Every structure is written in C-alpha cells, then in structure tokens.
Structure 1
Amino acid sequence: MIDSPASAMDIPHHEPPVTLRSQTAAIEAVEDIVYGSTAGIVGKYIEYPFDTVKVRLQSQPDNLPLRYKGPIDCFRQSLKADGFVGLYRGITAPLVGAAAETSSLFFFERLGRELIYSSGLVSRDQFLSLPTLYFTGAFSGFFTSYVLTPIELVKCKIQAPASADGSAPPPLKPGAVIRDVYRHHGIKGFWHGQMGTLIRESGGSAAWFGGKETVTKMFHALNARTVNTKAEKDTLAAQPLPLWQQALAGASAGVSYNFLFFPADTIKSRLQTMAIGESVKDRTFLKEGIAIWKRYGAAGLYRGCGITCLRSAPSSAFIFMVFDGLKTFLPMQ
C-alpha cells in the first residue's frame, strides 16, 4: 500500500504533536466543507442543463413510446416547451445537493486518509499508494451516498415529474415535493433509490479521486522528464500542475466516474421519478434493472450516458481546479 517517495503524489510531512495535528485536522475539515461547497456550486451551474436532459432520457416510461429520440431531440423539445430557463428547473435543491455532495466527498475522502494513517498501516511521513487512494475514494462515496439520495430524489422529481399519460405536468417546487414524499412514504421514502446511489457513489468516487490522482501522477512524471537534476525535479513536483493539465486530470475523473457506474444511476433515476404516492414495494433496484435489461438491453441502462459524460468533463475539471486553487491560494491556516 506504500509507494516510494519518488513515485508518491503527496508532499511528505512528519508527525506533528497531537494537539497541533488535531487543530490542523479541524481546519482542513472546514476547508473541505467550505471550498468543496463552493466548487460544487460552480460545477452544478455548468452541468445542470445536461443533467436535466439526462434525467428526462433515463426516466421515459416503458408503457408509452419514447418521447425523446436522443439528447439533441430532448434539448430541442425542452427548449421549445420551457425555454432555456426550463433546463434549470429545480436547480435550488441541486445547488444545495452539489454543495453537500462535493464537500462531503472531500471531507470523507480526507477522513478515509486519516483512517489509513490512524490504523498504523502507513505512517504520516510516508505516502499513500494509488490503490489506497482508490479505497479512500470508495470510502468517501459510500458515506456521501446517504447524504445525497434524499437531495437527488427531490431533484429528479422536479426535473422529470411523473405523469400517467406522458404529458408534461406543471412545474413542481422543492417544498411541495418534500411534503408529498413525507406524507405518502414517511422519512424512509427520501432514501428510495439508495442502492443505486450507493453503488454509483462508492464505485464512481473511487474512479473520481483515483482517476484524477492517476492522471496527475502521470503528468508529474512527464513533466519531470524536462529537467535533469534531482533538485529541479523536487521543485517541479512541489508545484501545481499547469492549468491545462489540471483540467485534463479533472475531466478524466468526471468521465470515469459517470461511465463506469452509469447503469446504477439509470436505475436510481427510474425509481426516483416514480409518481409520488405510487407503491414502491415492487419497484426494487434489482427488479427495475432486470426490467430495463429485458426491454431495452444494455442501451437502456446507458441511455443518457453520452450527454452525462459530456457535461461531467468540464464540470469535474472546474470542481477540482476551484477546490485545489482555493486550498492553495486561500489557506485557512
């Protein structure tokens, strides 16, 4: 689980006193929450129209002809029906969700690192290997999924409200959705679709953090070839990557996150766009997945994947650049 210093991505640091370490950890936790929230909000404004299209493509009912032929047709019909503002329908809840999701991802990822250090498997003056960083990403996604599922449920019901005849019902408001879900399904109803979120976030976050660090490490290795002395290599390794390399690392992370576990997200969206009040007993994650596979095959599970990967590349690039930039230039300690 340990890389040699020459292949490590983190800057080494020695074991500080317990009190100082606790204070530093508290400050870093606040940074994760504040800067993660800011980065998440920026990313959500970039990706939200694409996310609306994705949810509408995923949630088309089986008992009716497909309303949208593909992402472009969905964009066209959505713009014709509601205008550009309609693509941002229900963004209030997702902005809260984006802040909660991104800050939780960075917070729990750091908690995962602390768990590794505290276990004694790796001392704090050593470096975490890539497999370990994939683990901390999965650890982060697992816990973040429980924060995210209720927020995504409200978002999905606003983006693609269910209608018996397939027509577009009036826009829903977050408060009305929350009241109706609680009235019909209780507190438990807000975690409908949790299995899909858990699979997507655990696997996807491993790919998100691990993929970003893998590409970052690759760029550091490539950049080191341009200098000759060890001192120059050490200086270069301690500096942030050029912006275009940071952007590519973040973009690759976003595409990896979405593509690898997209079927779980499709099933989750289908479950979360059910009409409020409809019985959820027979709509389990496994049954929904089998039903989609039997009717549409793999294409049904990946419906909307292209548009999702397209929007996730710039969104993730900006999230990591904003987060890393704030941590670098506006440290709280």
Structure 2
Amino acid sequence: MALDFIAGCIGGCAGIVAGHPLDTLKVHVQSGRGSALECTKALLKGGTLATAYRGVGAPLGGIAVVNAIVFGTYGNTRRALPNSESLLAHGTAGAVSGFLQSFVLSPIELVKTRLQLAKPGDGMPNGTLAGVRYIFRTGGFRALYRGLGITIARDSPALAIYFTTYEILSRGDKSAANVFFAGGVAGILSWVIMYPLDVIKSRIQGDAAGRYIGVWDCFKKSVRQDGWRCMSRGMGAVTVRAFLCNGVCFTAVAWTERAWQRYATEDLRPIIQFAGFSEAVCHDIHDRYFDI
C-alpha cells in the first residue's frame, strides 16, 4: 500500500537521523577499537558530529526501499493471514519482512560499516556512492553482499520479536507516549536478543582485509582474540540507540498515518483521488494509530 511506504519511509528516516551517531559508536566498539568512552572521545574529536554521522548517506539513501519492504510486507502479510490480529500473525509477518529486507539492507549496512570504520590512507573514499564504487571495483558484486547470510539470520527473528513486542505493549493504549515507549522497548528486545549475531555481522562486513572466511571462522577468531565479552561489546550504545531510534520511528509512522487519515477524509480527499490513490488507500488505516 502507498500509505505503508510513505509512513515507513518517514519513520525510518527519522529513526536513522536520531540514532546514527550511536550506531557509529556501536560499530567502532564492536570492531575492537576501544571502550565506549574511548570511541566516543575519538568520534567527537574536533568538536563536531561529522565523524559520528559518517556513512549516514548509505542507510538514508536506501531507507525508502527498506521500509517499503518492511512495512509493506508486514502489513500485507499480516492481513493475508487467518486471524490477522493475533500475536502469531504479527510475529509471522515480521519474520517474513525481516527475511526480505535483508537482501536490500545487507549491502547498505556493509557500505555504512566500511565508511564508519574508514581511516585516512586505507583507500576507502568519502561518500556513499564513492564507497559503493570502490567496494564493487575492488571486490566485485559478491563483495557488496558479504554478510548476507548472517544478516538474514539476525533480521528475520529480530523483526518477529520487534512487531510482536510492539503489538503487545501498544494494544489498548495508542497515546503518543505509549507508542514511543512500545516502539523503544520493541527495538531494545529485538536488538539485545540477536546482538551476538550483529557483532559477527559487523566484524565480517567491516573486514576489508579478508581475515575471516565465514561466520563460524569469525566467531572462533573473535572469541579467541577478545574473549566471550566481545559478543556483548557495545551493547550499552545499542540499547540507548534502539530505544531512541525505534521510539522515534514508530511515533513518526503513527503520526504520518494518523495525519493521512485525517486529511484523506477531509481536506485532501479530492487531491488524493486526483493523484490516483484509491478509496481503499484512504480507508485502509487501522485503529492501531494513536490520537493526535
């Protein structure tokens, strides 16, 4: 549905802008560049957030496609299932959307990770498109999809947890504060439970030198070198980022869809119909969105 795409795009962009500095911190800590405090000092060196926002173009550039897949697949899959309001339907739809989004998200996150970890003189250029061209030129198409398997293993169950948790916490209370809280908690749970897989994914995708030959090899070498604690390294930054980013995302989605409902049924109905959107789009809004 057009509404799923628009709301998901706005919500996703809002969440990325709010949480990208903490995502950069997470990647640096996961890659063994020091403690959270040491990495924070390095990222803020110079007194600006320029380094912390490095690589933000990659997720922003693909967020429309990613969120169209996530929210579009989730909404349409759930509505196609029997007993579509059950928690099982929400979880199943989330798992399907997580699986499909991985094919788009994996190369986006690889480019983002390489840009976030880039050092002067290592050959990685500035800028998202330049980074894509560099990775493709030096490693071919397969290099852009390095880490796809671990991305699927992370995202499919993570989004099942994500949407199910949000539904549990937001049922019966669609206030703005509760939508933000439910989205934030859903984000935390989906990240914390799958976090070790995210650590391995970050290390594989950030491995420009080719040290790891696969997921199991990366896991063994990481634990051997840095101990078991490396599987939870950076979780503090992830927890804060997950709550903020996903709270903002769900709030933006809810506000967008609620605003669409108000204006589609009042002032903008003639414009929407003139633009080619159907009556079904105007009315296909469920009671899960909070009151403005």
Tell me whether 49-58 or 100-109 shows the greater mean CA deviation: 100-109
TM-score normalised to structure 2 length: 0.83
Contact between 1:100 and 1:148, CA under 8 Å: does it hold in 2?
Answer: no
The alpha carbon displacement at 1:153 in A equals: 0.8
1:170 and 1:328 map into 2 onto residues whose CA distance is 43
| Identity of matched residues, % | 27
1:86 and 1:185 map into 2 onto residues whose CA distance is 25
CA distance 1:323–1:299, shift in 2 (3 Å): same
The alpha carbon displacement at 1:98 in A equals: 3.3
Of 131, 135, 138, 1:177 maps to 131
Matches within 5 A, 1:173-322: 173-217=127-171, 220=172, 241-275=174-208, 278-279=209-210, 282-322=212-252
Establish whether residue 44 from structure 1 lines up as the match of residue 1 from structure 2.
no
Of 80, 87, 104, 1:130 maps to 87
The alpha carbon displacement at 1:82 in A equals: 7.1
The alpha carbon displacement at 1:162 in A equals: 6.3
The alpha carbon displacement at 1:85 in A equals: 1.6
Establish whether residue 151 from structure 1 lines up as the match of residue 108 from structure 2.
yes
Contact between 1:162 and 1:273, CA under 8 Å: does it hold in 2?
Answer: no
2:131 and 2:239 map into 1 onto residues whose CA distance is 28
Please tell me whether Structure 1 or Structure 2 has the larger radius of gyration of its CA atoms. Answer: 1
CA distance 1:81–1:200, shift in 2 (3 Å): farther
2:99 and 2:129 map into 1 onto residues whose CA distance is 27
Alpha-carbon deviations, 1:159-215, whole Å to 9, x = none? 01268xxx8877632222212221232212211011221111111111111110111
Establish whether residue 324 from structure 1 lines up as the match of residue 254 from structure 2.
yes
2:46 and 2:231 map into 1 onto residues whose CA distance is 26
Establish whether residue 71 from structure 1 lines up as the match of residue 36 from structure 2.
yes
Q: Which residue of 2 aligns with 1:101?
A: 66
Contact between 1:40 and 1:103, CA under 8 Å: does it hold in 2?
Answer: no
Q: Which residue of 2 aligns with 1:14?
A: none
Matched residue of 1:322: which SS? helix
Alpha-carbon deviations, 1:245-297, whole Å to 9, x = none? 1111111111011101011111111111122xx447x5201211122223333
CA distance 1:176–1:170, shift in 2 (3 Å): closer
1:188 and 1:303 map into 2 onto residues whose CA distance is 28
2:56 and 2:175 map into 1 onto residues whose CA distance is 32
Tell me whether 288-297 or 206-215 shows the greater mean CA deviation: 288-297
Runs of 4+ in 1 over 4 A off after TM superposition: 167-171
CA distance 1:127–1:179, shift in 2 (3 Å): closer
Q: Please tell me the root mean square deviation across aligned C-alpha atoms, in Å.
A: 2.2
2:204 and 2:178 map into 1 onto residues whose CA distance is 38
CA distance 1:159–1:316, shift in 2 (3 Å): same
Establish whether residue 90 from structure 1 lines up as the match of residue 51 from structure 2.
no
The alpha carbon displacement at 1:152 in A equals: 0.7
1:114 and 1:186 map into 2 onto residues whose CA distance is 39
The alpha carbon displacement at 1:114 in A equals: 4.1
CA distance 1:260–1:30, shift in 2 (3 Å): same
Structure 1 stretches of 5 or more lacking a match? 1-28, 61-66, 117-121, 221-239
